[in-house]
Amino acid sequence: MSNNASNEGGDIHGDNNSSNKGGSIYGDNDASNEGGSIGDKDKDRDKDKDRDKDHDPVGHPAPKPVGDAVRGYAGTLPTDGVTLAFPVHHGLETRDTISMLYNPVTGTQYLPGIVAGDYSTIHTSDDVTTFVFVAPAPLPGTVRAVIVGVE
Q: For residue range 134-143, what is the model confidence (pLDDT) as tens digits?
A: 989 999 999 9
pLDDT at 58: 66
Give yes or no: residues 110 and 46 share one domain: no
Mean pLDDT value of segment 12-39: 51
40: nearest Cα among 22, 23, 28 = 28
Q: For residue range 56-79, what is the model confidence (pLDDT) as tens digits?
A: 566 666 666 656 688 999 999 999
Domain that holds residue 126: 70-150
SS3 for 41?
helix
Per the structure, how many domains does the chain have? 2
Give yes or no: residues 74 and 145 share one domain: yes
Q: Is residue 122 in some structural domain? A: yes
pTM > 0.75: yes or no: no
Rounded Cα distance, 41 and 126, in Å: 48
Give yes or no: residues 49 and 75 share one domain: no
Give yes or no: residues 85 and 136 share one domain: yes
